[in-house]
Amino acid sequence: MNEEQNRLLTRVGPGTSMGALLRRYWMPIAGVSEFDSRSTKPVRLFGENLVLYRDLSGNFGLVDRRCAHRRADLSLGMVEKCGLRCHYHGWAYDQTGQCVSQPFEDTTMPERNTKAGIAIKAYPVQTKGGLVWAYMGPAPAPQLPDWEPFSWDNGFVQVVVSEVPCNWFQCQENSIDPVHFEWMHENWGKHLREGTGAAPAPTHLKLAFEEFEYGFVYKRVKEDTTEADSIWTVGRVFLWPNGFFLGEHFEWRVPIDDENTLSITWKYTRVPNDRPRYVQQCIPTWHGPLKNADGNWIDTHVMNQDFIAWVGQGTIADRTEERLGTSDRGIVMVRRRFFDEIERIARGELPKGSIIDPAKNTRVELPIADRESVLEGYTSGQIMAHPFLRMMFTSYVFQAGQPDSVKQQFSDAMGLETQEFAGLDALRKR
């Protein structure tokens, strides 16, 4: 890969081709429940400083961080029934960014209505699945995908938000990288706990990569699986353009700027079948730290290990220096697709996976390995008898830092005692 190609894939700020492509899709940017305890949140997306707020009518807005008047920070502003008011001299803006109040001018020369000619940048926002989504591309916006899991019931959903200090594209390449699972999460996880010399995890024997309407799938056969397993017949989803979908959980890698990525996880866990039907009152959002109090990187949980790998590739991985192997066929496929899609939007065409027709946007299905068991669920007895299920239902394996309050809500929903996650490799000892 040459330098120009690497730039094309990684640079996302205003005026860049990749930024323009990604802005054609709705991006998850926060958890709705973050706004139970705050009304504004400073956010940075695609190199733009913005403020996300929920006003007193419950509507979200995403506007420029700076007030049009004298550039005060609107994340310090006050939400009103409809919109956000600057804390400095009280100018107020609605969801479209239109200035709707200029207290001094409105009082002293109302006939001039100067506010009519003043607006700040604003982007459309919607909520779905307990997430706040933004669309930062040209109008008209496509549909915000109604992925099937967002309407699953009788389950507990949690949202985890982290900021990862590296470029978005190396994070997203991980979504089409099956072999890292064996090494990073199994062998390295074990090495961290037990040192070198432990028995290696079952190795990958065979890989396949395929494209479909909403992304790509990878398929694997390992020493401990066969071609009859759903991880080969169905696979895992690289969700175009910046998501990863594993059946009961989504991960998105949203560009903050060229050098930082917002990681958003949406995780559903079905309540055991022998429990009363569960109705979740509120989807909790929690912040997943990357480092311990002592400043060391947290390496105990699945995505924390991924974060370490991504940041370790460099702030913006230098692909001019890499040597791809045969396990990277999927990575080559998605890079080519990105180059093609950049050209496609330059020609004025709709990019891959855009959902335009609202009639097509109901419970949109994605490939799910083990779809039956995901939809049918398990009894508490089945869960506790099976080491992997027991781990998934009694701890949060993906990221460190789950607050006690969320642990408690989860445990109450599942009717099972929670435990500390001991590492994927710990399973193999049983």
Q: How far is the CB of 90 from ligand FES (least distance, A)?
A: 6
Q: How far is the CB of 332 from Fe ion (least distance, A)?
A: 19
- Distance from chain centroid for Cα 61: 20
| Site for ligand FES contains 99 (CB under 6 A) | no
Nearer to Fe ion, 134 or 400 (CB): 400
Nearer to ligand FES, 67 or 391 (CB): 67
| Site for ligand FES contains 67 (CB under 6 A) | yes
Cα gap 411→330, rounded to integer Å: 38
Q: How far is the CB of 236 from Fe ion (least distance, A)?
A: 11
Which residues are bridge partners to 220 per DSSP?
207
Among residues 7, 41, 44, 89, the one that binds ligand FES under rule CB under 6 A: 89
DSSP-assigned letters across all residues of 25-73 = S-EEEEEGGGGGS-SEEEEEETTEEEEEEE-TTS-EEEEESB-TTT--B
* Binding residue count for ligand FES, defined by CB under 6 A: 9
Which partner from the list ligand FES, Fe ion, none does 306 bind, CB cut-off 5 to 8 Å by kind? Fe ion
* Rg value, the chain, Cα: 23
Nearer to ligand FES, 63 or 164 (CB): 63
Nearer to ligand FES, 72 or 119 (CB): 72
Q: How far is the CB of 89 from ligand FES (least distance, A)?
A: 3
Q: How far is the CB of 405 from ligand FES (least distance, A)?
A: 36
Closest CA to 19 of 138, 127, 176: 138
Nearer to ligand FES, 91 or 378 (CB): 91
* Buried-state track 168-190, b at ≥16 Cβ within 10 A, e below 16: bbbbbbbbbbbbbbbbbbbbbbb
Cα gap 228→225, rounded to integer Å: 8
Calculate helix-pair angle for 387-394, 404-414, nearest 10 degrees: 130
Consecutive H or E run containing 241 = none
Structure tokens at 214: 């909403």
Among residues 3, 38, 57, 70, the one that binds ligand FES under rule CB under 6 A: 70
Which partner from the list ligand FES, Fe ion, none does 69 bind, CB cut-off 5 to 8 Å by kind? ligand FES
Nearer to Fe ion, 306 or 341 (CB): 306
Closest CA to 233 of 376, 375, 368: 368
Among residues 72, 234, 333, 384, the one that binds ligand FES under rule CB under 6 A: 72
- The dihedral through the CA atoms of 106, 111, 112, 114 has a sign that is positive
| Site for ligand FES contains 176 (CB under 6 A) | no
For tokens 């109901």, name the residue. 362
Q: How far is the CB of 103 from ligand FES (least distance, A)?
A: 9
CB-based contact 86:69 (threshold 8 Å)? yes
By the criterion CB under 5 A, which residues form the site for Fe ion?
306
Among residues 33, 78, 88, 119, the one that binds ligand FES under rule CB under 6 A: 88
Q: How far is the CB of 37 from ligand FES (least distance, A)?
A: 25
Contacts with ligand FES by CB under 6 A lie at 67, 69-70, 72, 86, 88-91
